[in-house]
A and B are shown apart, each in its own frame.
Chain A
Amino acid sequence: MRNPLRKRIPRELIKEFGKYAVIFIFLTATIGFVSGFLVAAGSMTKAYEESYETYNVEDGHFELLSQITKEEITRIEKEKVTLYENFFLELDTDSNGKKDTSTLRVYQNRDEINQVCVMKGRLPKKENEIAIDRMYAENNKIKVNDVIRLEGKEVIVTGYVALSDYSALFSNNSDMMFDAVKFGVGVMSKEGFLQFKEAPHYNYSWKYKNTPTTEKEKKEASEDFLASLVKVGQIKNYVPEYDNQAIHFAGEDLGKDKSIMLVLLYILIAILAFVFMVTIHHTIVKEAGVIGTLRASGYKKSELFLHYMASPMLVTLCAAIVGNVLGYTVFKNIAASLYYGSYSLPTYHTVWNLEAFLLTTVVPLVIMLGVNMISLLHSLKLSPLQFLRRDFKKNKGKKQVKLPNVGFMNRFRMRIMIQNCSSYFTLLGGIVFSSVLLMFGLMMSPLLSHFQASVLDFKLAKYQYILKTPTSIENQGAEEYSALGLTFVADKGKEEEITVYGIKEKSAYVKESMPKNGVLISDGFAEKYKLKEGDTFTLKEKYENKRYKFKVQGIKEYPAAMAIFMSNKAFIDVFEKDEGYFNGYFSNKELDLPQEAVVSVITEEDMTKITRQLDLSMGDMFVMINVFAVVLFSLLIYLLTKLILERNTNSISLVKIIGYDNLEIGKLYLVATTWVVIASILVSLFLSTFVMKWIYAFMMKEFNGWLTFYIKPTIYIEMFVISIMAYAAVALMQLRKIKRIPMQEVLKNVE
């Protein structure tokens, strides 16, 4: 390009250095963060996927009530599987004098199956040594070489590890969420393991000799194996690998965030593209005469197009490049530490991610190009003559707007608003976007606390026992109930587990009386799948095809889980149980039940696990989102008020000549903008509630269960105050700028 116009581009960038610098920094940081995130997630996903082979992850495990002999093992194996002893102890800790105890599940050093990734320090050798899960250690502030107490015995932590079958620390596979504060895993030497008196859990891992590949093959292999295992008897627990949350949860989550991050990035780029669009349009209007002359003297549209596109494209390109460099260096580590804060993932190696690179370079450039191209080509469509005559069709219409007679100052301000309509619309869009982000950042912690409180408020009982077989007990204030899990199949085949409760008549624990026909459904189930009274829905059995149809007769406030409720009579009827069947107890006291009879107990702590874990793993993220939202908000206000002032430099210097002082001029120009900003903030408080509800529903679809949507009312006040403060800071800066506009400006500008 030998175009002499080219020389203006660097000068433009220098003259408007401040503007381009903030846009550049902001874009770079955003692209950098997203790129870092994608790279970290990509690399960790790879490490996670490879861990199956690297650490020889099991095809499943089962637990028996007692140890079995070598002969029995050989009999079970029958050339189909290989069994590995993988016994563990569940030990209570009381480390660092803390009163709260947590549970450590301790295995022996593993050589063959589910091997361990040492992330810091070393594996234990001596009797009084242990290596523990890194995330559990960090959550409980246990450092390498610290001493912790296990069942009263002191042991030294020799290292941090990640167990390949515990990337998410689920203590029980049927749990909704895991709790990496209260539960951890670790490994000890053989001597160390054997020093504890209590009997270990007789857990065996298996590996198929012919590894099944498809989901269907895996299911069939597992069912066959289970059938042959049942003959051995007394299975306490049976978890095939494909059904193991501790193994799969982290891997699935790694992929989920990607799409959200990208959508946010693209919306942001689109907003900045609109800012550029408005800026370019402003420049074109200002330089219309020259454009007309250049077009008259033979310049083609394409040359002018390139000229006006150059700056935004250059800034975006540089931001994409620098952002990606930072993504691979700085931000990757930040993102990785976010993941390490939630999951016990093994050490990863950064891998080059072509897809991430394209998504964070090419796509932003295309969006920037696309938005500006549409507008620029539209502006440049005007003939050279129209440019020379400054004959912009849009303006014609606007001039005809009749302003009401509301005094000179107000009319002036209204004229400013009409003139800068497109800037103000961009501003509104930007404010709505940043408000949604801000709302998201501010609302999640209160939402989690609110959820936790209402889970406890609306719980069925303090203790919910699930029994293996109906076991009668002396009445300790407990009440029998029945429960089982069915599957709800939502759109796109997403399966959601629903607990079905059968409740005794005149229950002391469930105050609602059960409907004669149909069921009550929990509020979360209703909210998530938009079910109303009178609707019918179908549930199916997990591994079979048996289906049940239910009619909604009411909604019961029970946020703790996705559940439906019916009378125990109906339960027995529907599921063909024997007369008087039940399989659990509600109780407000701990019950004295034989351990073998109990499958599990749900306590208050279990019910609030999910909120604790979410707050822990996402708390930092919420803060980051808030900072980002405020910066974006200020940036947009800055860019667009600047543009509005620039568009009016002539008139500003004119009113200066007439004798207005700076403050009065500031009032004239900024008051109009202030009105628009305040109105936009109010509109966006309103709008973002709707947008948020929608995004929230969309987001929650991906998860199991439902967290009740809740916006703490004070959040609106917080948002308003934060936004106004950010605006005030920018407005003061602009007032300084008004002072610097010289009076001669108007006399120089002939156009």
Chain B
Amino acid sequence: MSNQEKGTPLILLENIYKIYEMGEEQVRANDGINLSIQKGEFVAIVGKSGSGKSTAMNIIGALDVPTSGRYLLNGIDVSGMKDDELAGIRNKMIGFIFQQYHLLPRLSVLENVELPLLYAGVSPAQRKERAMKALEKVGIADKWNNQPKQLSGGQQQRVSIARALVGNPSLILADEPTGALDSKTSREVLTFLQQIHEDGNTIVLITHDNSIALEAQRVVRLKDGKIIFDGPSEEYRKVQVNMQ
């Protein structure tokens, strides 16, 4: 595809299959996916519920292994790695954002954001400083000392974005980050993601919503575990109606 000449892709999926055996039945959640994403891209993976988006994201995020196929993250084959090695890779390279915010009670907003800095080898003072910066980026620094349950849903999601950002990961994976939010707050969250992208981060955004997918640079459409479209969002805008 168009990006191949730029050198080692950050993400390279080759012939990825993920097959669930449900008794007699086979569910082909990912059915031969080939995908390459370069550093600095903002890609949306879009598709109906059950089309295999989360499955793909879990493989990209090294949370799950494919049934067959090869996955190179930044040129390194991660399929054969042990649990703790994978944990190390995820910690250094990937920031996760989920539909649910998963903040720890009994820790302040700031402390929640500090959590991923465990392995970065930073001092507690630096840790605080970097967490504070991440909070500033998502515009919620003033609430740093609050408990998660004292925040609204949108605010909690911003904290979880700050947490994903704080380790300066090479890749940010967001699975339906706006799924639990109203449309205004969803816009806000998308704006942050765009800002982060402009700062040079690579983002993979997963959504079932075409209008949200269009905020990305590039759109990958999944259907029944297969890629049925992969191209710039302007192009997707034109063909999206045919793909419902």
Q: Is B100 on the interface with A (CB-CB < 8 A)? A: yes
The reply to whether A298 and B61 contact each other, CB–CB distance below 8 Å, is no
11 contacts between A and B (CB under 8 A): A4-B127, A5-B115, A7-B107, A11-B106, A287-B105, A289-B98, A296-B63, A298-B92, A299-B91, A300-B84, A750-B153
Interface centre among A3, A293, A388 (most CB of B within 10 A): A293
Q: How large is the interface on B (under 10, 10 to 19, 20 to 34, 35 or more residues)?
A: 35 or more
**Chain A residues whose CB sits within 8 angstroms of the CB of B103 once the complex forms:** 290
Task: Encode A733-751 as 1/0 by CB contact (under 8 A) with B.
Answer: 0000000000000001111
The reply to whether B98 and A8 contact each other, CB–CB distance below 8 Å, is no
- Of B27-35, B117-125, B193-201, B203-211, the stretch lying at the interface with chain A is B117-125
The reply to whether A292 and B102 contact each other, CB–CB distance below 8 Å, is yes
CA distance in complex: A287, B101 (Å): 12
For residue B163, give the distance in angstroms from its CB to the closest CB of chain A. 8
CA distance in complex: A290, B164 (Å): 13
CA distance in complex: A287, B92 (Å): 23
Task: Encode A241-252 as 1/0 by CB contact (under 8 A) with B.
Answer: 000000000000
Q: Is B47 on the interface with A (CB-CB < 8 A)? A: no
Task: Encode B117-152 as 1/0 by CB contact (under 8 A) with A.
Answer: 111000010010000000000000000000001000
The reply to whether B117 and A298 contact each other, CB–CB distance below 8 Å, is no
Q: Is B96 on the interface with A (CB-CB < 8 A)? A: yes
CA distance in complex: A5, B119 (Å): 13
Q: A293-B96, A293-B98 are in contact. Are A7 and B111 (CB under 8 A)?
A: yes
**Chain A residues whose CB sits within 8 angstroms of the CB of B111 once the complex forms:** 4, 7
The reply to whether B63 and A383 contact each other, CB–CB distance below 8 Å, is yes
| B interface, over-half SS | helix
Q: Looking across the interface, which residue of chain A has its beta carbon closest to that of B64? A: A385
Q: Interface size (A, Cβ < 8 Å)?
A: 31
The reply to whether B114 and A4 contact each other, CB–CB distance below 8 Å, is yes
The reply to whether B118 and A2 contact each other, CB–CB distance below 8 Å, is yes
Task: Encode A280-308 as 1/0 by CB contact (under 8 A) with B.
Answer: 00000001011011111111110100000
The reply to whether A287 and B104 contact each other, CB–CB distance below 8 Å, is yes
Q: Is B88 on the interface with A (CB-CB < 8 A)? A: yes
**Chain B residues whose CB sits within 8 angstroms of the CB of A294 once the complex forms:** 115
The reply to whether B104 and A299 contact each other, CB–CB distance below 8 Å, is no
**Chain B residues whose CB sits within 8 angstroms of the CB of A2 once the complex forms:** 118, 124
Q: Is B95 on the interface with A (CB-CB < 8 A)? A: yes
**Chain B residues whose CB sits within 8 angstroms of the CB of A7 once the complex forms:** 107, 111
Q: Is A512 on the interface with B (CB-CB < 8 A)? A: no
Interface centre among B58, B95, B115 (most CB of A within 10 A): B115
**Chain B residues whose CB sits within 8 angstroms of the CB of A296 once the complex forms:** 61, 63, 90, 94, 96
Which residues on B are within 8 Å of A, measured CB to CB? 58, 61, 63-64, 83-84, 87-92, 94-96, 98, 100-107, 111, 114-119, 124, 127, 149, 153, 156, 160, 163-164, 167, 180
Q: A296-B96, A300-B84 are in contact. Are A3 and B63 (CB under 8 A)?
A: no
The reply to whether A293 and B102 contact each other, CB–CB distance below 8 Å, is yes
The reply to whether B96 and A297 contact each other, CB–CB distance below 8 Å, is yes
The reply to whether A4 and B117 contact each other, CB–CB distance below 8 Å, is yes
CA distance in complex: A295, B91 (Å): 9
For residue A279, give the distance in angstroms from its CB to the closest CB of chain B. 15
Known pairs A4-B111, A297-B94, A298-B88 / 4 extra A-B pairs, C-beta < 8 Å: A4-B115, A290-B103, A296-B90, A383-B64
**Chain A residues whose CB sits within 8 angstroms of the CB of B106 once the complex forms:** 8, 11-12, 15
Q: Which of A8, A293, A298, A384 contacts B118 (CB 8 A)?
A: A298
For residue B206, give the distance in angstroms from its CB to the closest CB of chain A. 13
Q: Which of B101, B107, B115 contacts A750 (CB 8 A)?
A: B101
CA distance in complex: A287, B222 (Å): 32
CA distance in complex: A8, B92 (Å): 24
Chain A 1-35 interface residues, beta-carbon cutoff 8 Å to B: 2-5, 7-8, 11-12, 15
The reply to whether A289 and B100 contact each other, CB–CB distance below 8 Å, is yes
Q: Which of B63, B88, B104 contacts A385 (CB 8 A)?
A: B63
**Chain A residues whose CB sits within 8 angstroms of the CB of B64 once the complex forms:** 383, 385
Which residues on A are within 8 Å of B, measured CB to CB? 2-5, 7-8, 11-12, 15, 287, 289-290, 292-301, 303, 383-385, 388, 748-751
For residue B24, give the distance in angstroms from its CB to the closest CB of chain A. 19
CA distance in complex: A283, B62 (Å): 26
For residue B63, give the distance in angstroms from its CB to the closest CB of chain A. 5
Q: A4-B115, A4-B117, A5-B115 are in contact. Are A297 and B104 (CB under 8 A)?
A: no
Q: A297-B91, A298-B88 are in contact. Are A289 and B102 (CB under 8 A)?
A: yes
Q: Which of B87, B98, B107 contacts A388 (CB 8 A)?
A: B98
The reply to whether B87 and A8 contact each other, CB–CB distance below 8 Å, is no
**Chain B residues whose CB sits within 8 angstroms of the CB of A290 once the complex forms:** 102-104
The reply to whether A3 and B118 contact each other, CB–CB distance below 8 Å, is yes
Interface centre among A3, A4, A292, A750 (most CB of B within 10 A): A4
Interface centre among B64, B101, B106, B117 (most CB of A within 10 A): B106
CA distance in complex: A388, B88 (Å): 19
For residue B4, give the distance in angstroms from its CB to the closest CB of chain A. 29
The reply to whether A303 and B63 contact each other, CB–CB distance below 8 Å, is no
The reply to whether B87 and A295 contact each other, CB–CB distance below 8 Å, is yes
The reply to whether B102 and A384 contact each other, CB–CB distance below 8 Å, is no
Q: Looking across the interface, which residue of chain B has its beta carbon closest to that of A7? A: B111
Query: Can you list the 6 inter-chain pairs with the closest CB atoms, starting with the nearest?
Result: A298-B91, A289-B102, A293-B102, A297-B116, A4-B114, A290-B102
The reply to whether B118 and A303 contact each other, CB–CB distance below 8 Å, is yes
For residue A5, give the distance in angstroms from its CB to the closest CB of chain B. 7
Q: Which of A298, A388, A749 contacts B116 (CB 8 A)?
A: A298
**Chain A residues whose CB sits within 8 angstroms of the CB of B119 once the complex forms:** 298
The reply to whether A299 and B127 contact each other, CB–CB distance below 8 Å, is no
**Chain B residues whose CB sits within 8 angstroms of the CB of A749 once the complex forms:** 149
The reply to whether A299 and B153 contact each other, CB–CB distance below 8 Å, is no
**Chain B residues whose CB sits within 8 angstroms of the CB of A8 once the complex forms:** 104, 106-107
CA distance in complex: A294, B111 (Å): 13
CA distance in complex: A383, B106 (Å): 24
